[in-house]
Amino acid sequence: MNNFKKPDASLWQGRKSNAYLYLHEKVICTDILKKETKKTITILSYACDAGVKRNQGRVGAVTGPEAIIKQLAKMPNHLENNTQLLDVGAVFCVDNDMEQAQQTLSKTVTNLLKNNSFPIVLGGGHDIAYGHYNGILNAIEKGKTIGIINFDAHFDLRANTNGNNSGTPFFQIAEDCKTNNRPFKYLTLGIREDANDASLFKTAKELGVTVIKNEDFNLHQTKNIQEQIYSFINDVDVVYTTIDLDGFSSAYAAGVSAPSPMGFSPDIALQCLQTIIKSGKLISVDIAEMNPEYDIDNQTAKLAASLAHTILHSI
C-alpha cells in the first residue's frame, strides 16, 4: 500500500529575498533519505485524523501539516549556512487504515534518525505518537530508555479494548513496554481534571506517570516544573517530545480537535521546551492535533509554526 506522498514544494512560499532570509528559501524538498554528514533537520508530515474520528473527536486534522508548513515557510531563517532543512513529504491514511499509516510513519522516522537527521513531525491526530515512538525505538541502541514528554490536556491512556485511536497511543506504548520488559517513562505537562475521567488518573498512577496538572503548569511554578523535568530527563537515555495543540488555551489554539479555554499558555511551553532541548537528550519532536477546519485567522497554525521555528533554531 502506497501511503506516502512526495513533498509539495508549492506549500513553501513567502517573501523573496534571494539571500535565504526566509525558511521557504532555505528548505530542500526531497523524498530521498540518505546518510547526512552535516546537521540536518527534517520536516515530516502525518496527514491522518482517522484516530480522531475513532475517538469521537471533530475531524479536520488531516490537513493540519499543510496549514503549519504554509505558516512556517514565511518565517525568517536564522539557521547556519551548513545546517540543512529538509521536507521529505507526508504519510497519509488510506481507507481509514490508521495502523498502516502509523507503520509507515515508524519506518520513516527510523530511517531519518539512522541517517543522522532530526525529525520534526507535523500532524495530524495524536495517534501520531504511537508510530513516532516506535520509529525512535527501532532507531536507537537496544537497551536505551526513551522518556516521553507530552504537552497535553489529556493523558491519551485510554484502553484499546475496542480498537486503537487518538486517545490510546500511550496506553499502547505502555502495554508494549510491559510485554517486552522495557521501562515506561512518561511525563505529562498540562493535564486537566475536566478533560480526563477518574479511571484515566487511576491508570496514570498505576503506570507511574509523572503528572504536572494544568493549574500548576504556569510561569509562577517554573522552578518546580523545571526540577521535575530535570529529574525525569536524568532517568532516561533519550527524550521524545510530543506537543498536542489542544493543551493550549483556545485563546491561542482554537483550531484543534478538542479545544478548551482552560488550557495553558505558550510562554510556559516555550520555557519547558528550552529546558528539554538544553538537556542534549532530545531526539525527535512532533506537533499534533492541528485542525484548520476550526482555526481563526490561522492563529493555531501560526502557533504551531512558531513552536517548530523555535525547535529547529534551538536544537
By C-alpha distance, which of 248, 267, 266, 268 is closest to 258?
A: 248
CA distance 273 to 98: 29
CA 69/CA 54 separation, integer angstroms: 26
Q: Which three-class secondary structure state does DSSP give residue 59?
A: coil
CA 185 to chain centroid: 17
The reply, when asked if residue 237 is annotated as ligand binding, is no
The per-residue pLDDT for range 117-133, each reduced to its tens digit, is 999 999 999 999 999 99
Tens of pLDDT, residue by residue over 39-50, are: 999 999 999 999
- What is the C-alpha to C-alpha distance for residues 307 and 270, in angstroms, rounded to an integer? 8
78 is annotated as contributing to ligand binding? no
* CATH code: domain of residue 245: 3.40.800.10
**Annotated binding residue at 246?**
yes
Q: What whole-number percentage of the chain has pLDDT above 70?
A: 100
152 annotated binding-site participant: yes
- Average pLDDT rounded to a whole number, residues 182-210: 98
Q: What is the pLDDT of residue 166?
A: 97
From the list 261, 166, 183, 268, the residue with the least C-alpha distance to 222 is: 268
Give the pLDDT mean for 57-79. Answer: 97
Interatomic CA distance for residues 128 and 49, integer angstroms: 9
Domain of residue 298, residue span: 4-314
CA 131 to chain centre: 11
Predicted pLDDT at 221: 97
- Write out the three cell numbers for 79: 539557521
The C-alpha cell at 150 is 507530552
DSSP string over 14-27: ----SSS-BHHHH-
The predicted model gives 77-86 an average pLDDT of 97
Q: What are phi and psi for residue 96, nearest 5 degrees?
A: 60, 20
pLDDT at residue 18 in the model = 87
What pTM was computed for the model?
0.97
pLDDT band at 3 (very low <50, low <70, confident <90, very high): very high
Average pLDDT, the chain: 97
List, in sequence order, every residue forming a beta bridge with 28; answer none if it has no partner: 86
123 touches 290 (CB < 8 A): yes
Cis status, amide bond into 124, omega within 30 of 0: yes
pLDDT in tens, 258-286: 999 999 999 999 999 999 999 999 999 99
- The per-residue pLDDT for range 205-260, each reduced to its tens digit, is 999 999 999 999 999 999 999 999 999 999 999 999 999 999 999 999 999 999 99
Q: Can you give the pLDDT at residue 32?
A: 87
Q: How far is CA 108 from CA 31, 62, 113, 114, 164, in A?
A: 10, 18, 9, 10, 21
Residue 99: what residue type? E
d(CA 158, CA 161) in angstroms, rounded, equals 9
Does an H or E element contain 309, and which? Answer: helix 299-314
- Are the beta carbons of 13 and 23 closer than 8 angstroms? no
Domain count of the fold of the chain:
1
Dist CA 147 CA 60 (whole Å): 29
126 assigned to a ligand binding site: yes
- 243, β-bridge pairs: 151, 287
**Residue 301, amino acid:** A
